[in-house]
């Protein structure tokens, strides 16, 4: 059975990303490449990673005016990523244009509230009523814009899924019970995220920074 774990390969080093992906490939369902990897390696690097045969989640979190986001996605079309992210805060028109520009078969999902933010951070950027309310608002906006799903923390995924039962829910900020949270502020365990309704789990440092990434991925998978 395919794994719901997407490993986040947050490194500028293509060889390192390739080596980790190969080591953990039997425990994961896909590879997540973000800004760090893409800024260093571009579309050619994404193609190299895709040669491993696993689905590619291109997590660029696009957030700009609708025309700019649509043109950026058109430039990414040849890569045919399985999943692509935009920020829901870019607004409904931006999300509609993002979906229209994406290749058929690519899930476009909207980041609601970054898992590195807590309610104090949100209050400082003009969101006084907390992450739960903001995730619900932006989930409805993403649904109405025709996207495929959202990114939220495991603490909000059950409520988001109740609003959008057939949505696709990406949950980062996932940590094994004994794991360090680092810069993540809204964290849950892999098992709790899945039980709450996550479609896929994004897991980076708990696997990539472990002394033995293969063993770490295997141990996390065993809890699911
Ligand atoms: O709200 C969000 C959206 C995306 N991410 C990304 O997920 C991984 C998490 O990495 P860890 O090392 O497991 O913390 C990372 O690539 C982020 O860019 C997120 O964490 N939160």
CA–CA separation, 86 and 80 (whole Å): 16
Taking alpha carbons only, the member of 120, 148, 154 closest to residue 135 is: 154
Query: pLDDT of 117-166, one tens digit each?
Result: 999 999 999 999 999 999 999 999 999 999 999 999 999 999 999 999 99
Q: Is 61 a catalytic residue?
A: yes
Residue pointed to by tokens 């390696």: 41
CATH code of residue 183: 3.20.20.70
Please indicate whether residue 137, judged by its CB atom, sits closer than 6 Å to ligand 1. no
The count of domains in the chain is 1
Q: What pLDDT, on the 0 to 100 scale, is given for residue 222?
A: 96
Nearest CA to ligand 1 atom 5: 172
Please indicate whether residue 152, judged by its CB atom, sits closer than 6 Å to ligand 1. no
- Distance, CA 114 to ligand 1 centroid (Å)? 8
Atom of ligand 1 nearest to the CA of 184: 14
Catalytic residue among 32, 61, 80, 185: 61
Are 38 and 9 spatial neighbours (Cβ–Cβ below 8 Å)?
no
Q: What pLDDT, on the 0 to 100 scale, is given for residue 7?
A: 98
Are 29 and 53 spatial neighbours (Cβ–Cβ below 8 Å)?
no
Query: pLDDT of 76-87, one tens digit each?
Result: 999 999 999 999
Q: What residue numbers bound the domain in which 62 lies? A: 5-222
Q: What pLDDT, on the 0 to 100 scale, is given for residue 70?
A: 98
Indicate if the pLDDT at residue 1 is higher than 80.
Answer: no
* Sequence-ordered list of residues with C-beta below 8 angstroms from that of 66, at least 6 positions apart, any chain: 90, 91, 93, 94, 96, 97, 98
- Distance, CA 111 to ligand 1 centroid (Å)? 11
pTM over 0.95? The answer is yes
ipTM of the complex: 0.99
- Distance, CA 172 to ligand 1 centroid (Å)? 5
Q: What pLDDT, on the 0 to 100 scale, is given for residue 208?
A: 98
Q: What pLDDT, on the 0 to 100 scale, is given for residue 2?
A: 84
């Amino acid at each position: 059975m395919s794994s719901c774990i997407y490993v986040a390969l947050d490194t500028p080093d293509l060889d390192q990303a390739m080596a980790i992906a190969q080591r953990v490939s039997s425990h994961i369902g896909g590879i997540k490449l973000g800004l760090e990897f893409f800024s260093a390696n571009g579309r050619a690097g994404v193609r190299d990673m895709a040669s491993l045969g696993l689905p590619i989640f291109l997590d660029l979190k696009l957030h700009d005016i609708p025309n700019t986001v649509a043109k950026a996605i058109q430039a990414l079309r040849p890569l045919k990523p399985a999943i692509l992210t935009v920020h829901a805060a870019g607004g409904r028109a931006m999300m509609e244009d993002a979906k229209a520009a994406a290749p058929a078969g690519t899930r476009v999902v909207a980041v609601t509230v970054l898992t590195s933010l807590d309610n104090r951070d949100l209050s400082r950027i003009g969101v006084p009523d907390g992450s739960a309310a903001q995730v619900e608002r932006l989930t409805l906006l993403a649904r109405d814009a025709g996207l495929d799903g959202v990114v939220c923390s495991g603490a909000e995924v059950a409520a988001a899924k109740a609003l959008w039962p057939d949505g696709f829910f990406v949950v980062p900020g996932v940590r094994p019970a004994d794991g360090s949270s680092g810069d993540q502020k809204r964290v849950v365990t892999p098992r709790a995220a899945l039980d709450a309704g996550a479609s896929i789990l994004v897991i980076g440092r708990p696997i990539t920074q472990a002394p033995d990434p293969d063993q770490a991925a295997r141990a996390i998978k065993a809890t699911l």
